[in-house]
Amino acid sequence: MTLWSGRFNESMDETLWNLSESFSFDHVLYAYDIEGSKAHAAGLAKVGLLSAEEFATISSGLERVAAEFAANTFVRSEVDEDIHMAIERRLTELIGEPGRKLHTSRSRNDQVATTLRLFTRDAVGQVSQAVLGLVDALIAKGAEYPQAVLPGYTHLQRAQPVLLTHHLNAHALGLLRDVDRIIDARHRMNVSPLGAGALAGTSLPIDPNFTASQMDFESAFINSIDAVSDRDFVAESLFALAMCGVHLSRIGEELVLWTTQEFDFASLSDAFTTGSSMLPHKKNSDVAELARGKSGRLVGNLTSVLVMLKGLPFSYNRDLQEDKEPLFDSVRTVLLVVHSLTGAIATMTMNTMRMESSASDELLVAIDIAEALVADGVAFRDAHALAGQLVGRAVAEGRALSVVVGEDPEFAKFLFLFDDRGALNRRTSQGSSGPESADHQAKQIAELIDSARRRLAKGAKP
């Protein structure tokens, strides 16, 4: 007999039970559901719907149920449809009559919305901390090689030399935006739906603001239908996680490239590489490939929740139960990827000689010839064409660009542009890849990291 079976004569068909039960995956919410139930019980006690004694008995009973889950000794009963029913059933077994009062003025509809918000608020906080750890690792890796240069690419063709720090900072900035987005989303989700009941509230004298503050929500719901129907916070979190996953996959792709024999810019430590079952010499960058590959399911999880929500009539519909597995999966996946990428990057060695030699490709100086002509008053389009002709000649004749430039009476004065690191040092514009901008960028990024950590700590539950 389930807790709701009063009006039914027949028990549920097994096939429907298998379709409908969610305990098998929502049991991970136990701590959040118990937190919500404690707040709810405190609210009932405050308005006299529970006596002080009943409240104390319920609170300690809930603690006992939590302890069983924590110790892995909780035994699921065959009537436990979901985590909410399971906890209430066990509570009542443990404490008797007062347990039967806990669900007063509450529905699973406001309960599950509350529980899931508590979970999500916590989970996205953990993800943000982890992502900031990866940002730290990227910055620290750059700091190990402050002078290292590599070619910057467009279309995966060598374009202009850049500092390694500049390249790693660009990845860090994407991740910092992810954290920013998550913190914004966390603010919007920080509203308590508890007290909305099934969809329309209750005739009993409850105080949703009080229960909201018990759970450190910033406010309580404004509209009971919205409270039980809204899963924006799930979709928004899944988007932030998917976007982060896309950033992680772009880092992954570059690590895959950098660790090939062809690029040979970096090597991962043994602890973060895998071998081949057949080829004894292989050292594979699976960590980077998985960072790339896992992003697919993150995008899929977002899509599945958006499609599930689309067209749902108000208010609660059972479809909403489908919000959980994608959310759990995305949180777990991002944490797995972020933690291993952090370790892989922290222990990665850069082959600075090889990066430098690729960055010293003379053709990368072509733009400096064009810009030097502009400084002499030539229109950029003409300058571009002149520099392009020099490159064309060098390539066609199979000679170094500096040789072609040096031989040309008109351009020989630009030979100094080929000086070691000249091209890099000439990048002086704001936010550019040159050394002058590097210090400023480092300060700006350090400020962003600090402010993300401050915002994160501020909204977090103690």
Q: Binding of ligand ARG at residue 117 (CB under 6 A)?
A: no
Choose which of 57, 92, 109, 214 interacts with ligand ARG (CB under 6 A): 109
Beta-bridged to residue 408, according to DSSP, are: none
Choose which of 59, 209, 284, 321 interacts with ligand ARG (CB under 6 A): 321
Closest CA to 140 of 356, 449, 454: 449
Amino acid letter, 165: T
Q: Which is nearer to ligand ARG, 322 or 368 (CB)?
A: 322
Residues in 348-387 that interact with ligand ARG by CB under 6 A:
none
Q: Which of 39-47, 234-242, 270-278, 314-322 is the region at the interface with ligand ARG (rule: CB under 6 A)?
A: 314-322
Q: Binding of ligand ARG at residue 316 (CB under 6 A)?
A: yes
C-alpha–C-alpha distance, residues 173 and 52, integer Å:
52
Instruction: Identify the active-site residue in 155, 203, 277, 281.
Output: 155
Q: Which is nearer to ligand ARG, 123 or 255 (CB)?
A: 123
Beta-bridged to residue 192, according to DSSP, are: 220
Q: Which of 40-48, 105-113, 134-142, 246-254 is the region at the interface with ligand ARG (rule: CB under 6 A)?
A: 105-113
First to last CA, the chain: 39
Closest CA to 26 of 115, 124, 110, 88: 115
* Least distance CB 331 / ligand ARG (angstroms): 16
The answer to whether residue 27 is catalytic is no
C-alpha–C-alpha distance, residues 306 and 25, integer Å:
20
Choose which of 112, 124, 288, 309 interacts with ligand ARG (CB under 6 A): 112
* Least distance CB 87 / ligand ARG (angstroms): 12
Q: Binding of ligand ARG at residue 103 (CB under 6 A)?
A: no
Distance, C-alpha 138 to centroid of its chain = 16
Q: Please name the residue ranges forming H helices in 190-229.
A: 208-214, 224-229
Q: Which of 106-114, 220-228, 231-239, 252-260 is the region at the interface with ligand ARG (rule: CB under 6 A)?
A: 106-114
The answer to whether residue 281 is catalytic is no
User: Hey, CA dihedral for 236, 241, 244, 250, is it positive or negative?
Assistant: negative
Choose which of 38, 108, 426, 427 interacts with ligand ARG (CB under 6 A): 108
3-class SS of residue 50: coil
Distances in Å between the alpha carbon of 111 and those of 92, 227, 341, 402?
Answer: 17, 10, 36, 72
Q: Which is nearer to ligand ARG, 85 or 164 (CB)?
A: 85
Instruction: Identify the active-site residue in 269, 276, 357, 429.
Output: 276
The Cβ-side half-sphere exposure at 137, using a 13 Å CA radius, reads 20
Q: Which is nearer to ligand ARG, 194 or 337 (CB)?
A: 194
Please give the sequence-ordered ranges of beta strands (E in DSSP) within 140-185, or none if there are none.
149-154, 157-163
Choose which of 281, 318, 454, 458 interacts with ligand ARG (CB under 6 A): 318
Closest CA to 44 of 223, 204, 251, 246: 204
Q: Which is nearer to ligand ARG, 109 or 441 (CB)?
A: 109
> Which sequence positions are flagged as catalytic?
155, 276
Residues that bind ligand ARG (CB under 6 A): 22, 82, 108-109, 112, 316, 318, 320-321
